[in-house]
Every structure is written in structure tokens, then in C-alpha cells.
Amino acid sequence: MGKPARVLVVIFALTLAFPLGGPAAAQEQHGVTVIPSSKNDVSPRLASIPPQTEGARSDRRERPLRGFPHATAGSPDAAVQSTVSVAAPAVSSAFEGIGQGFVGPAGTFTVQYAPPDTNGAVGPNHFVQTVNVSFAVFNKSGAVLYGPAKINTLFTGFGGLCETDNDGDPSVVYDQLADRWIINQFAVSGANGTSIPYLDCIAVSTSGDPTGSYFRYSFPRSYFPDYPKLGLWPDAYYMSTNDFSGNSFAGATTWAFDRASMLAGAPATAQLFHLSFLYGGLLPSTLDGRTLPPAGSPNYFVSLGDAASLYLWRFHVDFANSANSTLTGPLSIPVAGYTELCNGGTCVPQAGTTQQLDSLADRVMYRLAYRNFGDHESLVVNHSVAPTAGGGGVRWYEIRSPAGTPTAYQQSTYAPDTRYRWMGSAAMDRVGDIAVGYSLSSATMSPAIAYTGRTPSDPLGTLQAETILTSGTGSQNGGLKRWGDYSSLALDPTDDCTFWYTTEYLTASGTFNWHTRVGTFRFANDSDDRRGPADRRQRHWPDDSQRDNRSARARQWERSARVQSGLAVRDLRVHVHVRPSGGTDGHRDLPRQRPLRGRHGRHDHRNGVPAQGDRDDRRCRARRRERAERHRPQRHDRRACARGRERRHRDEP
């Protein structure tokens, strides 16, 4: 992240004598700014573009940490979870991601930068991973389909800094509502010390194939837009940045990109609100699952507040009339007191070396995951803290009612011993299971990759015993302290319950020799037999063309369900969550509402009872089941089946 090492970086270490966002500070933001894309086009198929690779070079660089003002005074942590009971799920699958010696179709990868800035997204058939400053496309078994390639390979032929610069801080997001991939990074090297604006470079796939073509965009910015983080929302792609003017922190910025235009490849605009220097390290919320937020819901941004609060903003965007766009906040969410790990700096120990690692505990960690359960909305997020007993812990939250009075419904600091857990990423699956992945290290162990989680039946504010995804067999040394910068935990859209986690580890001690690992797991309580018919059908629709290859009756069922639930939205093609029932802890199975059918559907429009044709069909199926259970030969009662078909055809116009 950040500019190359030749640029002097000033890291703020301010102890503020006041909270970062009092009532007066709440007004410290500018009005909306509209930025048109400076250029947009459509690329050739990525598979047809020769991958550009990072060759070995002598001036390998540690990307400097660009800090911002934050409250260094802490509070005693009264939310520490020091004991655990049942074990978190076992690893389902794992494979090597991009790292030193990684081999793909484009050749062997050589680390040139640290930290790796590991990020990943999963779709129906692929996993796409980005690191600093490269990417690769995998199938879901771990086979490399494209790469490793420099990220600016995506902008081959685009021109300008997006094509010539390859500066990193990348993000990749899968848009499950449209079956698209979004990859971005900034372009800053060619703009340093000139009047040329910095650029945010965004590529949006034209289909669900990440090796296909991309709509490409560049958006100019006079501030250096550091640490960009993307979020998916139905009305826009949202982003947060920490902005710098020269070497001085200039405040955070919240962005909204015109999603509808970018999905169509049309010229697009970004609307943004720039906050004062009092605020930094915000994250935009990103939608998990297919259940949309309530109509008109703003996107939510969250940051750390003082030592006993989080801050929340609401960003409503109107691309038709920017005068209607608003950013409100911050709202203060009271939480249990905490102290930032290493006071936001460097103190994480490793085995076999005195070299300590950065904590990045001055900010909430990617992602701010949003989910709508019908009877409530939840956000989950985490950051790194210093437990009173020593070591480092992951403080995680489930925030409810973000549209009303946001509250920390449950929270805790996961620190079952005095080892250091940090650089986490949190997410929640469709039944309310929460998972957290993170790095794990101590003076007697090299950094490893671990995760834990909870089910709705677990006591509130508790996580299960951690599972080691990968044990590290090396420690970082040679004066190199940067680690991770962020990691990524995402949900598989095919079942909405398999977690995919990726982050950094080492196989041998050294410098600029990091590896990454990709692992999957799921909770036993979220199984296929808990899924409704629409959920099961979704698993077999990996792209739009297959989704549309359905019977008229299936399409009519979905249209009726959307109308009854008030969600007649173009991008929503599968199921709609309705009233929850059963379960505990507020997260419950989500049954599917059977719409009342007319003459052309399953129910009679006059009295809501099954039509005669369907009753005959059911009798036919019941006879078959009875015979199968008695192990009798399967003799079909063709007359009943024929009667059902004839009556259905007779009912149709």
C-alpha cells in the first residue's frame, strides 16, 4: 500500500485530547463532489491478453504504512473471551495462492513488494485473488487458469496511468446480484510531483467469466487515495479511501460509483464526500447473500471511534440528481472498552527473531459484511486489540439496526491465550453463523493462519476453539515489519454458507518471501437439507444464460414471490427471504413463502386450494413413493398422471 519507498512518509502518532467525532466534528465534511470517469472502454478477452509479470529486480520495496490521527489512549477490555468449548469447523479444502515461487500459466511469481495486501473473491466457478501488485484466476479446485499477472494487465491498450502504472493496494469483489467481477487498484507513480491527477482504475467484467472481457474505467483525484476498499450495494459500488495531500493526511473519503452504468459499460460518474482529517480508516458495507437491503437503504460506513465506541455513517446516493445525495453521521455506537494492539503500531512477536510485525490496529479490518435476515439487519466487522492479560486479540462485533439506532448486539475479544491474533476478516453466512479468520503468532511460533466462528446456538459473544488453516514454518526478518495490510473472508455464492479465507504466511524465514494460502470451511448446522427449493435451484444457475433457461412456471413463481414481497428488482432472480421462524439467537431458518396462485399456477385463485390437476399429480407421486418403500416393482398409474396433465393443460389459456 502507499507510495513507493522513495517518498518520505509521516506517520501520525497523535494522542487526541478529545474524541474523534464530537457533535461539532459531525459537521466536518464537505458537500458532495461529482467526478465523471476520465475514460472508459471495453477490453479484449483477458484470456487473449498476454500476462505481464513482475520480473526479479534488485530494488524490492517495503510499502510504507501511511497513518492518520487516532485515539491512542485505551480502556480496560471487559469483553475478553478467555475460554473456548467446541472446535470450529475443520478445513474443507485448501490450496496455495500467489507468493514466492508460485507457478501459474504465466510463469513463476517473484515477490517484489511487502506487505502482500491479500484479497480474494469467490464466484460460482472461480476464485480470483489479488496481491500487491498481481492477480490470478483459479477454478474452485485451486487450478490456476490465468496468471500470475500484473494487475495493469487488465488495462492493456487502455492508455494513461492505469496502463503504465502498477501501484497496488488492490481489491477484488464478486457481484452476486449481476454475476460480475470488479477489480481495482490506484495509479500514483506517474502522478507524483506533477499536475497529473492520481487515478483509481476499475475493471468490471462483462460476464461471469473472470477471464473474459472487462469494462474499464479511470476516475481522477487530486488527493492521493490510499488504502481503497470496495463494497457491493444494489445501487452503487461504494469505496473508502484515506486521502493524503503530499505527506499530510487530508481526511477520509467515501465514494459511490454508478453501478448501473458500469455494468452496461457506459460512461459513469462517482459521487464522493470528503471528511475532515479527524476521520480515517472507514470501511463501506458490502452485501452478502441475495436478500437485498430494504428499498432505499443507504450504504453504511464504519470506523473506530474513541476507546469505547465505533462510528457509523449513512451514504445515500442519487445518480440522477446529486443534490439529493447525502452522507449523515457519524453516529456513535457504544462498545466495550479496548486498547489498540501495539497502540496501532508495531509489536507482534515471532519465533526465532527480534523482528516485530505491524498490527494495523488503528482501523477496522476488511470487510464490513452486511446481511438482511428479514426481521433484522446485521453488520459484522473486527479490529485488533490488546487484552489486559497480554498478547493480542481480535475484537469482533455484530451490529444490528444500522438503519435505526445501531447497537452492538454481540461482541467479544477473542484471546483464549496470550498469543497474538490480528489482521482479521469477518463474515456471516445465510443462517447467522459468524466466522473470523486472522494471523496467529508469538515469540515461540512463526505466524500461522487460523480461524474460528460461532453458530446461532452458541452463547452470545463467544467464538469456538480455533482451527489452524496453515502453520507457518518461517518468520519475517531483515528489518521488514509490514505484514498483511488486510486479509479477506468471503461467502461462496453457490450455497451462501461456505467461507473462503485468504491471507499471508511464510514457509521459511527471510524477507520478501511471503506466501499466501486459500482455505474453505463451513459449519455443520448449515446443510443442504435446510435450503428451500429456490436455494437448491440457485446452485445450478452459475450464469445468467442458465438462470434464464427455466420453465415458464418457475419464472412465474419467482415473479409472484417478488411482487408479494415488494422486491420486484431487476437484479434479483432467485429467492426472497421472508418471515423467519424457529431457531435461537435471532438467526433462524428462512422459509420460503408460497405465493397464492391463480389459474396458471399451483393454487386456485378463488380459494387458495390445490387445483384438481395438481391433486392428481400428487396422488400419482404418492403411489410411487409407497411402492418404492415396500420394494414393489415400479408400476405407474398412468391414468392418474394423464388426468393431472390433461387438467393442467385445460386450465391454461
Per-residue pLDDT tens over the stretch 551-570: 343 344 344 434 433 433 33
Say what the pLDDT of residue 632 is: 45
Distance CA 405, CA 249 (A): 31
Distance CA 170, CA 166 (A): 10
Does position 8 have pLDDT exceeding 90, yes or no? no
Say what the pLDDT of residue 85 is: 86
Say what the pLDDT of residue 347 is: 98
Lowest mean pLDDT among 10-19, 23-32, 355-364, 443-452: 10-19
Does position 536 have pLDDT exceeding 50, yes or no? no
Averaged pLDDT for residues 43-53: 97
Averaged pLDDT for residues 559-586: 38
Q: What are phi and psi of 144, to 5 degrees?
A: -85, 120
DSSP 131: -
Q: Per mean pLDDT, which of 6-20, 57-71, 344-358, 531-545 is the most reliable?
A: 344-358
Say what the pLDDT of residue 473 is: 98
Say what the pLDDT of residue 626 is: 62
Distance CA 269, CA 453 (A): 39
Distance CA 91, CA 356 (A): 29
Say what the pLDDT of residue 570 is: 38
Say what the pLDDT of residue 62 is: 85
Which helix (H) or strand (E) segment holds residue 355: the answer is strand 353-358
Give the pLDDT band (50/70/90) at residue 55: confident
Q: Could you count the other beta carbons within 10 Å of the beta carbon of residue 320?
A: 7
Averaged pLDDT for residues 585-605: 39
The backbone region for 296, taken as left when phi is positive above 0, alpha when psi lies in -120 to 50, beta otherwise, is: left
Which of 449, 490, 499 has the alpha carbon at shortest distance from 231?
Answer: 490
Does position 592 have pLDDT exceeding 50, yes or no? no
Say what the pLDDT of residue 616 is: 52
Say what the pLDDT of residue 195 is: 87
Lowest mean pLDDT among 29-33, 471-475, 514-518: 29-33
Does position 431 have pLDDT exceeding 90, yes or no? yes
Averaged pLDDT for residues 26-46: 87
Return all residues near 331 (Cβ < 8 A) that are at least 6 apart.
311, 312, 313, 406
Averaged pLDDT for residues 492-516: 98
Does position 546 have pLDDT exceeding 70, yes or no? no
Say what the pLDDT of residue 65 is: 81
Q: Could you count the other beta carbons within 10 Å of the beta carbon of residue 612?
A: 15
Residue 250 CA: distances (Å) to CA of 204, 245, 360 = 29, 6, 19
Say what the pLDDT of residue 61 is: 83
Say what the pLDDT of residue 9 is: 32
The residue that leads in pLDDT, 30 or 126, is 126
How does the average pLDDT of the chain come out, rounded?
83
List own/partner pairs for 627-636 with CB under 8 A and 24 or more apart: none
Which of 103, 183, 131, 125 has the alpha carbon at shortest distance from 503?
Answer: 131
Does position 648 have pLDDT exceeding 50, yes or no? no
Lowest mean pLDDT among 202-216, 471-485, 609-623: 609-623
Does position 512 have pLDDT exceeding 90, yes or no? yes
DSSP symbols for 425-451: EEEE-TTS-EEEEEEEEETTEEEEEEE
Residue 52 has which C-alpha cell? Answer: 505481464
CB hemisphere CA count around 159 (13 angstroms): 5
Return all residues near 27 (Cβ < 8 A) that are at least 6 apart.
none
| Burial label, 215 (beta-carbon count in 10 A; 0-12, 13-18, 19+) | buried
Say what the pLDDT of residue 158 is: 98
Say what the pLDDT of residue 147 is: 98
Strand pairing class (283-287; 365-372): parallel
Give the pLDDT band (50/70/90) at residue 71: low
Q: Per mean pLDDT, which of 150-159, 550-559, 596-605, 608-617 is the most reliable?
A: 150-159
Say what the pLDDT of residue 623 is: 63
Which helix (H) or strand (E) segment holds residue 623: the answer is helix 612-629
Q: What are the tens digits of pLDDT across the range 174-231?
A: 999 999 999 999 999 988 878 899 999 999 999 999 999 999 999 999 999 999 999 9
Does position 69 have pLDDT exceeding 60, yes or no? yes
Say what the pLDDT of residue 51 is: 97
Which of 192, 321, 212, 193 has the alpha carbon at shortest distance from 265?
Answer: 212
Say what the pLDDT of residue 3 is: 40
Does position 533 have pLDDT exceeding 60, yes or no? no
